[in-house]
Amino acid sequence: MHEIALALVLLLAVAVSGVIERVFPLRLPLPIVQIVVGALLAVGFRVQIPLDPEIFFLLFIPPLLFLDGWRIPKGAFFHDLKPILTLAVGLVLFTVVGMGFFINWLVPSMPLAVCFAVAAILAPTDPVAVSAVRGDTPLPARLEHILEGEAMLNDASGLDFFRFAVAAAMTGSFSLAQTALGFVWVAAAGVAIGVGVAFLCGYALRWLAQYGGEDTGVQILVSLLVPFAAYLAAEHLGGSGILAAATAGIATHYVNLHGAELSSTRMERRAVWNTVQVVMNGIIFVLLGEQLVHIVTGGPAGKRHTSESGAPVCRQYFRSGAVDAHLQGVERVHGGDKQCPARLAAEGDIGSPVFGHVDMLDFLALRVEYGNTLAGQI
């Protein structure tokens, strides 16, 4: 009952922030208003929302990236795919390396691998940040499409670089060839799984519609489930769940081009997804405001990133086959000892001497999606 009440409070906060943004005499970005409303919930009403990073990644990231992939202009995206990938991978890598060395110079006591992990969190931007920085300034259509495509894909590359940096920090070793191979595998698996899930669900619905008639409610429900299916399947198989969700959105567009669809289905589905986008973006910023208050004041939310809470998230990053192979190599150095520090840290042993870095990385990873957006709004 408590969780249901919190969910209703968050939905009410999103609605109230939308009203405030429209009636407030000063023109403020909606995310800033939502952050303030979240802070007021924490300060004025003593609202405390326990936030599990695994739930956050699963609940918010797949549908938002799926929607970005679904709505991005496909012709412009594939026409400018080369510069988009150059920015989404090359620029993120350049930022990770440059910022990693800078952070290490700024805080010499922080290990270099941990600095790279922090830089990987700071490197990606997202479409909201791009729109906020641009404001009302018109941009050439091609440049706008490139920036939107890069913002959609760089979260995947940033999170994968983060994953390998965490592996290096916890194992104390790094292999460039193994990391490059692991990155290619993670990206390729994510794309393949996203396309496969989208086409499988799409053509299954087409087949059912031919024999049993089209049910608008079922069509919309399946479209809501596709990003979660792609994300979970990719994470389970060691691929990039973020890339799988975005790719599933792109593939769903082409699935919908085959076969006739009821106009009511298209219109109602668009309305449902618009609502989902508004609600999820709003909840993210309300949560950010609520969490910031507890972090600054040292409340329960600020202290909840203990080693035990960090363990599940770190296990999520170690599902990649490449990272697991990296750990197996370290085990061989330890003579096949399953109790080596790297493996204990990866499996969540809070007694591991390298596990102390996990808390900060877990805390930063929780804010991958909306930390950069806040920077864009400011």
77 Cβ contact list (under 8 Å, min separation 6): 84, 145, 149, 250
- Residue ranges of alpha helices (H) inside 213-339 are 216-236, 241-257, 263-297, 300-303, 307-317, 321-333
Over range 113-135, report the average pLDDT: 75
Instruction: Report helix, strand or coil for 230.
Output: helix
- Measured between its terminal Cα atoms, the distance across the chain in Å is 36
pLDDT at 214: 82
Is residue 247's pLDDT more than 80?
A: yes
Residue 121 contacts residue 182 (beta carbons within 8 Å): no
Distance CA 357, CA 264 (A): 52
Percent of the chain beyond pLDDT 90? 31
pLDDT at 131: 61
Is residue 180's pLDDT more than 60?
A: yes
- Residue ranges of alpha helices (H) inside 72-140 are 74-79, 81-85, 92-106, 112-122, 127-134
pLDDT at 319: 36
231 Cβ contact list (under 8 Å, min separation 6): 58, 61, 62, 241, 242, 244, 245
Three-point CA angle 333, 337, 343, nearest 5°: 85
Distance CA 21, CA 30 (A): 6
- List pLDDT tens digits, range 63-108: 999 998 998 888 889 999 999 999 888 989 999 999 999 999 998 9
pLDDT band at residue 328, thresholds of 50, 70 and 90? Answer: very low
Distance CA 91, CA 82 (A): 13
Which of the 8 DSSP states describes residue 86?
A: I
Torsion region of 126: left, alpha or beta (phi above 0 gives left; psi -120 to 50 gives alpha): beta
> Quick one: tokens of 98?
């440059």
Phi and psi angles of residue 176, each rounded to the nearest 5 degrees, phi first: -65, -45
Residue 328 contacts residue 315 (beta carbons within 8 Å): no
Distance CA 9, CA 25 (A): 25
Is residue 324's pLDDT more than 90?
A: no
Distance CA 221, CA 75 (A): 27
- List pLDDT tens digits, range 289-305: 998 888 888 755 555 44
Over range 186-192, report the average pLDDT: 93
Chain-wide mean pLDDT for the chain? 77
> Quick one: tokens of 237?
């198989």
Is residue 339's pLDDT more than 80?
A: no
> Quick one: tokens of 78?
């594939």
| pTM for this entry | 0.74
The number of beta carbons lying within 10 Å of the beta carbon of residue 62 is 27
- List pLDDT tens digits, range 138-178: 778 888 888 888 888 887 888 888 888 888 888 877 777 88
